[in-house]
Amino acid sequence: MQENTIKITGFHAHIYFDAPTREAAARIREGLSAFDVRLGRWHEKPIGPHPKSMYQVAFSPEQFSKVVPWLMLNREGLDILVHPETGDDVKDHTDHSLWLGEKLELNIEFLRQVGTT
C-alpha cells in the first residue's frame, strides 16, 4: 500500500439554512460554541460554491471526533457539508467531503476558477 502524503490541516463544516430554518441554524451555532471551533459569518444568500445561505465552522483535526458526531445528532434536519482542508479545494469539496442530510449541488466551477487565479 502506498503511503498517503496528503496532510489534513483542518476541517470546515458548512451549515446550510433558509429563512424558515434560520432559527434551527442559530441553535446549532449556539451549541457549537461549546467546542474549540471558529464560527464564520452568516451568509444570508449563496456565496462562492455554496448554493444556499450558510455559515462555516472551522475546526482542527483533533476536534473532528467531537464536532462531527455532535453535528450528526444535533443537525435539526439541516444539510451540512463537512470537508477537510488539504490545499486542494476542488477535491476537498467533492471527493474528500461528507454530507449530513441531503447532498447539495455545489458550484465546483467556482472553486476551479478561484484555484487558477
Question: pLDDT of the chain along its 117 residues, tens only?
Answer: 455 678 999 999 999 999 999 999 999 999 999 999 999 999 999 999 999 999 999 999 999 999 999 999 999 999 999 999 999 999 999 999 999 999 999 999 888 887 654
Question: CB burial class (10 A; 0-12, 13-18, 19+) of residue 63?
Answer: middle
Q: What pLDDT sits at residue 4?
A: 67
Tell me the CA distances in angstroms from 22 to 28, 58, 104, 114, one per residue in order.
10, 19, 17, 29
Q: What pLDDT sits at residue 111?
A: 85
pTM of the shown model:
0.91
Which backbone phi and psi does 75 adopt, to 5 degrees? -80, -5
- Virtual torsion, Cα 52, 102, 70, 33, nearest 10 deg: 0
